[in-house]
Structure 1
Amino acid sequence: MLEPEFKAVLKPTIFREYINGSLDDYPAGMINDNMKEFHFILGFATDTYVNGKGTGVFTRTWNFKSLGPEKVLKLIVEHRNVKVVISIGGHGAEDVFNPKNRDIWIANAKSSIKDLILDYKIDVGSGGISTTYGIDINYENIDSSVDDFAYCIGNVIQQLKEDEDLSYSMSAVSIAPTEALQSYYLTLYLKNKDKIDWINYKFYKQSFDSVIEFVKLFKKLVYEYGAPFKLLAGVSTDTITSSSYTMTTEFFVKGCTILLNTASLAGVFVWDANSSAPTYLLEEQIQKLFTKK
């Protein structure tokens, strides 16, 4: 059965880039100031495990000295379209979503993630400046039920959004589904659609026989999530991450061009800046495609 097509007319408004590892600074050279929004996503804040089970106590793995709040403040002053987001979860085999106790995990996760966000608040006079803009839910390994994942992550998102100390810092929440974990992320989204702003779908984690197949999957996902304005297409410059799949960067650009020509694409994300360095050719190409500048 063919899915009905959404008739939303979209212009690409957002470009997102993951930073994974130990860059010495934000790669500002890739930023196209003509983009409406440009996000750097810091990866990852990872869980702490006891006897193989997640405790909900998250710690950052990126270089805080090189990518800390002062660097963010300088970046957002120089580039008004830039925002910085913290990614929660991780891609390693050890970074598994598997809480021992749901409610204890939620309480710990809310508290520890809040602390990570507040580390990016700069005190100015009697107030402060929040330099992060949101969080990204990005687990590639889940060892729990679909309902537990949706319940735990949904509650953490809600509690962080309701925390008055974090009003600006929780302005944008994204999730990062893969084909293998689609049931988990789709359930999470459908139960929390008013709290989730972007869907970073990892197209680079599967294979396609043709560009048209890529476009068809994009339209199918728009239908399943019911979110044409939120679905972002993902591509990887990490040859290790994408080596098992057939989607090349050239393939991806062709697919995005088709979606742009039918006003169907809200934006794109790239994994990741570390693999793209030092040239960032793909990032520049996609942003020029979006902005015509």
Structure 2
Amino acid sequence: MEPHKLFLTILIIPLIIFHTSTPCAAANSKLFREYIGAMFKDVKFSDEPTNPNVDFHFILSFAIDYDGLNSPSPTNGKFNIFWDSTNLSPSHVSSIKSKHPNIKVAVSLGGYTVGSEFAYFKPFSIHSWVSNAVTSLTSIIKTYGLDGIDIDYEHFQADPETFAECIGLLIKTLKKSKVISFASIAPYADDEVQRQYIALWKKYGNIIDYVNFQFYAYDKGTTIPQFLSYFNNQSSNYVGGKVLASFQSDLSRGLTPEHGFFTACKMLKSQEKLHGIFVWCADDSKANGFIHEKQSQEILATH
């Protein structure tokens, strides 16, 4: 072999190995997240107890690219506010963040329904949707003083490649312009949902900070071993991602706090896999005084 060919061979091999290596997700963290405002039950940020030793994210639910509750229709990336903006206003965001330096506030995009209709991801084109989304969301985020976005589309009238490109470019653009500092996705175990989000993850996973996997969407009566199996399976689907444990506060589905959720979290923590906990949702938790949120934060804050 000629010397210059030998040099090129030696140079290329380590580059290929480096490029294809899979990053490992971070170990345990103290991140607690909670969706808020979707149910219009007069819940306020200040209602919820906040442990100063956790990183706390409120997630406003939802901003939707639809025109309104009365005969709603898609608006191709032109987002409007669909959360309880009376109790969760810009002044409320500013107040809670000034009182609690460990709190950040994000906005979730999409959601399950608009009024009585499904909220579809339905772009006219990638370019027009991204352009409209960047403009409309930048306005909302700056008005409210928000820190990040969460992607929670659950119904689709677009192929996975279009979803991946639209959402990926949106996150990339908002981060590049420093409008947001973090982004998350909120998939669950449905074949079509998974096709969409895994396509997004494969192309843009490197700019997605958290995976709010909806483990509460599994059947009621989920056991601890089943939950841990689901967690490991989804960690394999979103390789290198910070997959968060989760429960639903009305206790209607999935592994609930009464049936071992916190035991499962402690087991994940012992394995250095507890990347955080999130809850759906504060609106329902208000009725019981946020008892499970307090427990969640205690587990996260304890070494």
Into which bin does the TM-score normalised by the smaller protein fall? 0.7 to 0.9
1:7 to 1:189, Cα distance in 2 relative to 1, 3 A? closer
Partner of 2:243: 231
What is the CA-CA distance between 1:213 and the residue it aligns to?
1.8
SS in structure 1 at match of 2:88: coil
Equivalent residues of 2:217, 2:254 under 8 A apart: no
Partner of 2:16: none
Query: 2:131, 2:32 → 1: CA distance?
Result: 32
Partner of 1:282: 292
**Correspondent of 2:31 among 8, 14, 29:** 14
More helix by share: 2
Amino acid at match of 1:63: D
1:51 to 1:27, Cα distance in 2 relative to 1, 3 A? closer
SS in structure 2 at match of 1:263: coil
In the TM superposition, what are the counterparts of 1:246-261 in structure 2 within 5 Å?
Answer: 246-250=254-258, 251-261=260-270
Per-residue displacement from partner, 1:163-196 (whole Å, max 9, x unpaired)?
A: 2xxx1x4101000011111221121122112211
**Correspondent of 2:277 among 251, 256, 268:** 268
1:28 to 1:171, Cα distance in 2 relative to 1, 3 A? farther
What is the CA-CA distance between 1:51 and the residue it aligns to?
9.3
SS in structure 2 at match of 1:67: coil
Amino acid at match of 1:56: G
Equivalent residues of 2:49, 2:294 under 8 A apart: yes
Deviates more, 1:261-270 or 1:217-226: 217-226
Query: 2:108, 2:56 → 1: CA distance?
Result: 15
Amino acid at match of 2:166: C
Partner of 1:214: 227
How high is the TM-score relative to the length of structure 1?
A: 0.84
Partner of 1:103: 127
Partner of 1:3: none
What is the CA-CA distance between 1:94 and the residue it aligns to?
2.5
Per-residue displacement from partner, 1:127-179 (whole Å, max 9, x unpaired)?
A: xxxx311111111212221111101111111222222xxx1x41010000111
1:43 has 2:55 as partner: no
Name structure 1 gaps, 5 residues minimum.
1-5, 121-130
Partner of 1:203: 215
**Correspondent of 2:163 among 144, 149, 155:** 149
Amino acid at match of 1:115: S
**Correspondent of 1:70 among 73, 91, 104:** 91
1:162 has 2:181 as partner: no
Partner of 1:291: 301
Equivalent residues of 1:54, 1:97 under 8 A apart: no
**Which structure is larger by alpha-carbon Rg, 1 or 2?**
2
What is the CA-CA distance between 1:233 and the residue it aligns to?
1.4
Query: 1:272, 1:189 → 2: CA distance?
Result: 25
Partner of 2:19: none
Amino acid at match of 1:59: N
In the TM superposition, what are the counterparts of 1:20-35 in structure 2 within 5 Å?
Answer: 20-22=38-40, 23=42, 25-35=44-54
What is the CA-CA distance between 1:257 and the residue it aligns to?
1.9
More strand by share: 1
How high is the TM-score relative to the length of structure 2?
A: 0.81
**Correspondent of 2:101 among 74, 80, 83:** 80
Equivalent residues of 2:66, 2:73 under 8 A apart: no
Partner of 1:127: none
In the TM superposition, what are the counterparts of 1:118-137 in structure 2 within 5 Å?
Answer: 118-120=142-144, 131-137=145-151
Equivalent residues of 1:236, 1:249 under 8 A apart: no
Name structure 2 gaps, 5 residues minimum.
1-22
State the superposition RMSD in angstroms.
2.3
